Amino acid sequence: MCFSPEIDLLAGAGITAIGIDAIRHVDHPTQRALASLPIVFGVHQLIEAVVWWSLDGPIPAETGHRFALVYLSIAFGLIPWFIPMAVRCLEPDRRRRAVMAGLAHVGGLVAIYLMWATIRGPLEVFNGGTHVGYRVQLPAGGLVVGFYVLATCGSLLASSDRYVAMYGVANLIAVSGLSFLLYTGVISLWCAWAAVTSTAIAVHLRRTDVHHQPFRLRTADE
């Protein structure tokens, strides 16, 4: 989510390029899920550019509504469980992986609830001036958002990798700040944080690639 369709388009293209670089530095299957996140973020921004243009006129509103559903399917239906699972794939400690698996289940329940609310409708998409607004009727919305943050940020904080855990702290602070800016209507800079996150992932994969850190295949009972 960004403050104009042009910035969404540029951010989407740039983040996707970062994602391609991240994938190039995957040297073990356990890294693939994490490396794919920048691609997801990049496509997410490109989708919202279409939603912007449907609100401004060049693209039919019906097409924009469909793209909005796809956009929310990623934000609501994918991210809450995919991030903890991606971090879990990297984690060598059995107990920490169990915690992350539990957080992925929490994220999965959040995703089901959010998608149910989105599909049930009504879904309102509007131009907020500095952002595209998405309004869904969401009972107990504050609690759901709390579980969303728990699943996504909590999994990072649970990592035994100091780099990942430190990013989890930074992510929690950034999410709080960006949510405040969006709520107060100042500006939306989520695309900027998506770029920062994608860059951090690419750097992390380069770091593990350079150091040739070993990865151990998970067994079915782990």
Picking from 76-80, 107-111, 190-194, which range would have the lowest pLDDT averaged per residue? 190-194
Q: What are phi and psi of 186, to 5 degrees?
A: -70, -60
Q: What is the pLDDT, as a whole number, of residue 193?
A: 66
Buried b (16+ CB within 10 A) or exposed e, 104-138: bebbbebbebbbebbeeeebebeeeebbbbbebee
Which of 194 and 64 is assigned the larger pLDDT? 64
For range 105-130, the mean pLDDT? 89
For range 104-109, the mean pLDDT? 95
CA 206 to chain CA centroid, Å, is 21
For range 139-157, the mean pLDDT? 87
For range 155-172, the mean pLDDT? 87
Alpha carbon distance 11, 197 (integer Å): 12
* Category of 106 on φ-ψ map: left (φ > 0), alpha (ψ -120 to 50) or beta: alpha
Q: How confident is the model at residue 188 (pLDDT cuts 50, 70, 90)?
A: low
Q: How confident is the model at residue 43 (pLDDT cuts 50, 70, 90)?
A: very high
Domains and CATH numbers, the chain: 5-209 (1.20.1070)
Alpha carbon distance 27, 21 (integer Å): 13
Per-residue pLDDT tens for 74-89? 989 999 999 999 999 9
Residue 166: C-alpha distances to residues 103, 135, 160, 184, 200 (Å): 18, 32, 10, 28, 11
Say if residues 31 and 216 touch (Cβ distance below 8 Å).
no
For range 48-65, the mean pLDDT? 87
Buried b (16+ CB within 10 A) or exposed e, 18-55: bbebbbebbeeebbebbbbbbbbbbbbbbbbbbbbbbb
Helix H or strand E segment including 37: helix 32-56
Q: How confident is the model at residue 218 (pLDDT cuts 50, 70, 90)?
A: very low
Q: Which of 1-10, 124-133, 189-198 has the highest mean pLDDT?
A: 124-133
Q: What is the pLDDT, as a whole number, of residue 172?
A: 82
pLDDT at residue 21 above 80?
yes
Q: What is the pLDDT, as a whole number, of residue 9?
A: 84
Which of 70 and 145 is assigned the larger pLDDT? 70
Mean confidence (pLDDT) of the chain: 82
For range 46-50, the mean pLDDT? 90
pLDDT at residue 116 above 80?
yes
